[in-house]
Amino acid sequence: MTLRTAYRTGTAALLLVLIEAVAWATGIALWWSLERFVPAFRFARPWVLWGLLAGAVLVLLYLLDLWRRNRALRRFSEPLLLTSTLGGLSTTRSLLRFLTLRHAFSFAVLALAGPQLGTRVEEVKAQGVDVIVALDVSNSMLAQDLPPSRMEMARRALAQLVDRMKGDRLGIVVFAGEAYTQLPLTADRSAARLFLSNLGPELVPTQGTAIGAAIDLAREGFPEEAGGSRAIIVITDGENHEDDALGAAERAREAGILVHTIGMGTPQGGPIPELQRGRVAGYKKDREGRTVVSRLNEAMLEDIAAAGGGAYVRATVQGTGIDALVAELRGMDQTETGTYRFAGHEDQFQSFLAIAILLIFAGLLLGEGSGTRKRTIAT
């Protein structure tokens, strides 16, 4: 039988690339499946998963080591002497040994990332405030004087508010020429996130800016028996053309509800885009053919906030102003907003760690020789 006196680095490299590709594809598919179909699964320390990239580095180092060893073996002038002393080399055994240790490393990283499964149910009592956001979705909110647009900045403000509300209840009212309840008061922040991407002028068929109607509808959205701290946040450019916004803010204040306002836009203003399939096809014009310029009405929004006992902030390119209003909300009395049940998470790292240990032992038991040694014949 012929014994090899060098490693087949080309074959090893090809096999490793194929195995790595299959392993990564399988891992990504499993991750996607868990994210979509097993929402109770998570990693306590997901940043540790970046360590999996070190596996590819290990593959490269292994191939370089094979090349280095082959170069060293070629220094022997007599292959027969090399065979009799080393007994032949097995690329297959060397490859299997490396793969067991390499994937032991991957399972160790997974264990360190802290896999958890939601199997424990806990009851917690939440405390916070009730907040209803009245969001202007009129065409003037498409103006781009506050880049990328007033509407996009308003979505960011609402998203930031959702992220910062813990233990609070949130509702959403959208308005243009009329006002509609988009989301009733709820503590489910994930439900609020579902509506963010769909907020736009198409939600309200009648155009205009009925701030007063929005404040009245938001006020009616709080349960009659609800006590504690309540607030309305109006996000708009302030171009009120429809009703008595100041009177609505005063009625809310009399009901024990504070009215805050966030101004979207600039005093200089900007034209109102007319969109077709998501692209700007032109700009809105008046009856005389002149381009309509929409401007932020800060005076109106300041008056509304004053009438409602709240605060006015203006969104800018540097920030949406939500942080200032969240600070105002945190200064209000916190009341119990309900008792909620959450799925606790149990650690599942033990299985991953066990597999890693077994692979390490298997790798250490595997040798790299062929297991066949020629006997040296003395002459």
User: Please, which residues have CB within 8 angstroms of residue 234's CB and are 6 or more apart in sequence?
Assistant: 133, 134, 136, 211, 214, 215, 259, 260, 261, 262, 301, 304
pLDDT for 374: 44
* DSSP bridge pairs for 119: none
Does residue 376 belong to any structural domain of this protein? no
Does residue 195 belong to any structural domain of this protein? yes
pLDDT, tens digit, 9 for 90 and up, residues 232-290: 999 999 886 667 899 999 999 999 999 999 999 999 999 988 877 767 778 888 888 88
Does residue 315 belong to any structural domain of this protein? yes
User: Please, which residues have CB within 8 angstroms of residue 47's CB and are 6 or more apart in sequence?
Assistant: none
pLDDT for 211: 93
- Whether 160 and 264 map to the same domain: the answer is yes
Token representation of residue 234: 């109006």
Average pLDDT over residues 79-90: 54
User: 239 with 210: CB under 8 angstroms?
Assistant: no
- Whether 235 and 144 map to the same domain: the answer is yes
Average pLDDT over residues 213-219: 95
Q: What range does the domain containing 194 cover?
A: 124-339
Domains identified in the chain, total number = 2
**Distances, alpha carbon 11 to alpha carbons 55, 82, 91, 321, in Å:** 19, 22, 9, 61
Average pLDDT over residues 79-106: 74
- What SS3 class is residue 149? coil
Length of the chain: 379
pLDDT, tens digit, 9 for 90 and up, residues 303-320: 999 999 999 999 999 989
Helix axes 54-73, 91-112, angle to 10 degrees: 160
- Whether 109 and 128 map to the same domain: the answer is no
Does residue 119 belong to any structural domain of this protein? no
- Whether 358 and 321 map to the same domain: the answer is no
pLDDT at 71 exceeding the cut of 90: no
Name the percent of the chain lying above pLDDT 90: 45
- What is the C-alpha to C-alpha distance for residues 222 and 229, in angstroms, rounded to an integer? 11
- What is the C-alpha to C-alpha distance for residues 216 and 178, in angstroms, rounded to an integer? 11
**Distances, alpha carbon 323 to alpha carbons 161, 327, 330, in Å:** 8, 6, 10
pLDDT for 246: 94
Does residue 205 belong to any structural domain of this protein? yes
User: 115 with 43: CB under 8 angstroms?
Assistant: yes
pLDDT at 366 exceeding the cut of 50: yes
- Whether 194 and 249 map to the same domain: the answer is yes
Q: Which of 218, 229, 254, 253 is nearest to 165 (CA)?
A: 229
- Whether 282 and 235 map to the same domain: the answer is yes
- Whether 103 and 148 map to the same domain: the answer is no
pLDDT at 371 exceeding the cut of 90: no
Does residue 378 belong to any structural domain of this protein? no
User: Please, which residues have CB within 8 angstroms of residue 215's CB and are 6 or more apart in sequence?
Assistant: 134, 232, 234, 245, 248, 249, 251, 252, 259, 304, 308
Token representation of residue 223: 């349960």
Does residue 3 belong to any structural domain of this protein? no
Does residue 370 belong to any structural domain of this protein? no
Residue 149, amino acid: S
- Whether 74 and 197 map to the same domain: the answer is no
- What is the C-alpha to C-alpha distance for residues 47 and 52, in angstroms, rounded to an integer? 10
- Whether 67 and 167 map to the same domain: the answer is no
CATH number at residue 268: 3.40.50.410
Question: Would you give the DSSP letter of residue 139?
Answer: G
- What SS3 class is residue 62? helix
- Whether 174 and 291 map to the same domain: the answer is yes
- Whether 128 and 21 map to the same domain: the answer is no
**Distances, alpha carbon 377 to alpha carbons 60, 81, 125, 230, in Å:** 40, 11, 84, 96
- Whether 187 and 270 map to the same domain: the answer is yes
